[in-house]
């Protein structure tokens, strides 16, 4: 998995850099949920409602969750929580580092709940509404064990979230139905599940994608192949992740602009003042809109 070697640096968590989110005071009552990122924090918040607090350790679209290192305060928040919700799949490896020494902490590992059973499956499972739906239901079940008085509320909230996730999944599938045979490339396979659900082909060369996932420069031949796909307009859009921007990905962005290939921004954490369902809904809408424009331009 991408940046797997970074886990070695996270062993010294007590010496890590400052976290991205302030830790709120513990409430007098109610459950306390800690999420690795604001993506899973938003899912948890939808389930918790008014019956507790949710703290997200990594927030905003500036930090890269892969390379984040937890502070002692972050580690304490994780070990003291009623429930920890994290991505798993080595994506937020720093949570695993804390949990290794605290096996009794209740957790929900999203990656373990994905529909794709392959051990090498893409770790960005938050772009799959079906997985998020299952995560919400699992959060409700775990909180019901901790706080049985509010079990019905947790499960009702999870069901409401699940209905919203179903609507987004239907919208993802509708993109592919509206654009059969369409293909794209991506600076990083962040939106893998969105594309898979839509039936959109990702033509990104495997060598390029693997290099980016390993935080390495792609081979010249793989970069040239990406540029050819864009310059020759053999793809309908470029999916661009600004949180892991490099000179190489910026080169691809600029090439797409020159070739009038639509660029669709995909992030790994939530934009300001939004929630999970809104974020995913707006991402789907942006992709659909840009593919519509690309189709019109090619006529």
Q: Quick one: pLDDT band at residue 119, thresholds 50, 70, 90?
A: confident
Q: What pLDDT does residue 225 have?
A: 98
CA-to-CA distance for 93 and 100, rounded, in angstroms?
A: 11
Q: Quick one: pLDDT band at residue 63, thresholds 50, 70, 90?
A: low
Q: How large is the average pLDDT for residues 11-31?
A: 45
Q: Quick one: pLDDT band at residue 68, thresholds 50, 70, 90?
A: confident
Provide, rounded to the nearest whole percent, the portion of the chain with pLDDT above 70: 89
| Tens digit of each residue's pLDDT (9 = 90 or more) over 179-195 | 999 999 999 999 999 99
Q: What pLDDT does residue 6 have?
A: 39
Q: Is the pLDDT of residue 137 over 70?
A: yes
Q: What pLDDT does residue 5 have?
A: 36
CA-to-CA distance for 196 and 121, rounded, in angstroms?
A: 12
Give the residue extent of every domain in the chain: 6-167, 172-297
Q: Is the pLDDT of residue 8 over 80?
A: no
Q: Is the pLDDT of residue 15 over 60?
A: no
CA-to-CA distance for 33 and 298, rounded, in angstroms?
A: 49
Q: What pLDDT does residue 16 have?
A: 37
The fold of the 6-167 domain, in CATH, is: Rossmann fold (3.40.50)
Q: Report the chain's mean pLDDT, rounded to a whole number.
A: 89
CA distances from 137 to 49, 151, 165, 229 (A): 14, 11, 12, 41
Q: How large is the average pLDDT for residues 72-84?
A: 97
Q: How large is the average pLDDT for residues 113-120?
A: 88
Q: Is the pLDDT of residue 62 over 80?
A: no
Provide, rounded to the nearest whole percent, the portion of the chain with pLDDT above 90: 78
Q: How large is the average pLDDT for residues 100-124?
A: 93
Q: Is the pLDDT of residue 248 over 90?
A: yes
Domains 6-167 and 172-297 share a fold: yes
Q: What pLDDT does residue 54 have?
A: 98
Q: How large is the average pLDDT for residues 204-229?
A: 94
What tokens does 230 get? 């864009």
Q: What pLDDT does residue 12 have?
A: 35
- The 8 Å CB, 24+ separation contacts for 158-167 are 158/46, 158/47, 160/46, 161/43, 161/46, 161/47, 161/132, 161/133, 161/136, 161/277, 162/133, 162/136, 162/137, 164/277, 165/129, 165/130, 165/132, 165/133, 165/136, 165/277, 166/129, 166/133, 167/281
Who has greater pLDDT, 15 or 223?
Answer: 223
Residue 185 and residue 230 in contact, taking contact as beta carbons nearer than 8 Å: yes
Q: Quick one: pLDDT band at residue 296, thresholds 50, 70, 90?
A: confident
CATH top-level class of 172-297: alpha beta
């Amino acid at each position: 998995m991408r940046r797997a070697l970074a886990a070695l640096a996270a062993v010294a968590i007590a010496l890590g850099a400052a976290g991205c989110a302030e830790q709120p005071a513990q409430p007098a009552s109610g459950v306390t949920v800690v999420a690795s990122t604001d993506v899973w924090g938003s899912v948890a918040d939808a389930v918790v409602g008014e019956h507790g607090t949710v703290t997200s350790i990594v927030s905003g679209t500036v930090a890269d969750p892969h390379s984040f290192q937890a502070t002692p305060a972050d580690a304490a928040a994780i070990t003291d929580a009623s429930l920890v919700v994290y991505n798993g799949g080595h994506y937020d490896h720093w949570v695993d580092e804390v949990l290794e020494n605290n096996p009794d902490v209740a957790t929900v590992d999203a990656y373990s709940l994905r529909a794709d059973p392959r051990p090498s499956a893409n770790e960005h499972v938050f772009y799959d509404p079906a997985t998020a739906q299952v995560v919400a239901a699992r959060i409700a079940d775990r909180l019901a064990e901790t706080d049985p008085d509010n079990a019905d509320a947790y499960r009702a909230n999870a069901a409401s979230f699940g209905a919203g996730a179903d609507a987004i999944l239907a919208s993802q599938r509708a993109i592919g139905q509206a654009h059969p045979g369409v293909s794209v490339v991506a600076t990083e396979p962040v939106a893998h599940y969105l594309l898979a659900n839509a039936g959109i082909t990702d033509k990104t060369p495997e060598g390029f994608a693997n290099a980016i996932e390993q935080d390495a420069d792609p081979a010249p031949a793989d970069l040239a192949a990406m540029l050819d796909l864009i310059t020759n307009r053999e793809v309908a859009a470029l999916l661009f992740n600004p949180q892991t921007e490099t000179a190489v990905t910026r080169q691809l962005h600029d090439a797409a602009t020159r070739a009038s290939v639509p660029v669709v921004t995909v992030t790994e954490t939530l934009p300001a003042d939004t929630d999970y369902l809104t974020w995913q809904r707006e991402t789907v809408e942006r992709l659909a809109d840009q593919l519509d424009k690309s189709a019109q331009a090619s006529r």
